[in-house]
Amino acid sequence: MPPRKRKSESNLPAATENTPKRAKNTSADRSKKSKKREPSPPPPSSSPEPEEDIKPRNDHIDWQFEYEGNNLSALLLTEIEDNNAHRQILGFNTNGATIAKTTGDTQVKHHRTLARKVLFNHPSGKWANEPIERLATAVKNHINSLKSQYRMHRNALSETGQGIGSQAEVTVGSKLAGAFDEILKKFPQYWRMRDLLFQNPTFEPQLTLNGSSTVDVTTILATRVSDLEDEPELGDD
């Protein structure tokens, strides 16, 4: 039998596009691809993140602001003093007047009314673009602050008064008079707050001096401490 002829390479079937190729997806390749798919970190911000505002909501109100000779805190007290409804609802005395409380007549409503009169409609126009709710909160907080300051100074005067030895010590230049001078420098609204919080002189305490004489301190101790209740500083009622 004659020997078979070897097929030449030219007769071999040529590789086609459908011919499967050897996979080259090694573990190293997969690692490279996985690294490529990882998102790149964001570029550093050009400006720092804004800090959270932790200041009180009403810190934009300067209650010592004066316009045409009128102090802002004094204007607020005037509005309260001239309106017995404000006095009653906000916890001040009404000079003996009895005010009928109507439906919906709340502290929130009075805070808004005062905020509109004293701040929103202020002739300077300084707070004309402020939300009325924010201004009402500022009014509420300032009233509470005035009460707290009055109570603190009232208690300090009570302690000072306990050391009085005679009626003469309540005169100008006395220890007690000096204490008043210091208080009025820090808290000029003291006497107005005394009048607003004054209840009834019959029930105000007196200081006993050496067991015999007394000094009537109803003008010093305007009201009992229990009559001034703590209220929250922020938010509406």
pLDDT in tens, 49-76: 433 333 444 457 999 999 988 899 999 9
Rounded Cα distance between 163 and 174, Å, is 12
Which token pair is 191?
């006497």
Question: 110: burial class by Cβ within 10 Å (0-12, 13-18, 19+)?
Answer: buried
Judge contact between 85 and 105, C-beta under 8 A.
yes
Q: What percent of the chain is modeled with pLDDT above 70?
A: 49
How many other CB atoms are found less than 10 A from the CB of residue 187?
A: 15
Instruction: Please count the CA atoms within 13 angstroms of the CA of 19 that sit on its side-chain side.
Output: 7
Helix, strand, or coil here: 66?
strand
Pick the closest to residue 64 from 145, 150, 155 (CA basis).
145
Pick the most confident of 134-138, 189-193, 202-206.
134-138
Give me the phi and psi of 158, to 5 degrees please: -60, -45
* More confident: 141 or 6: 141
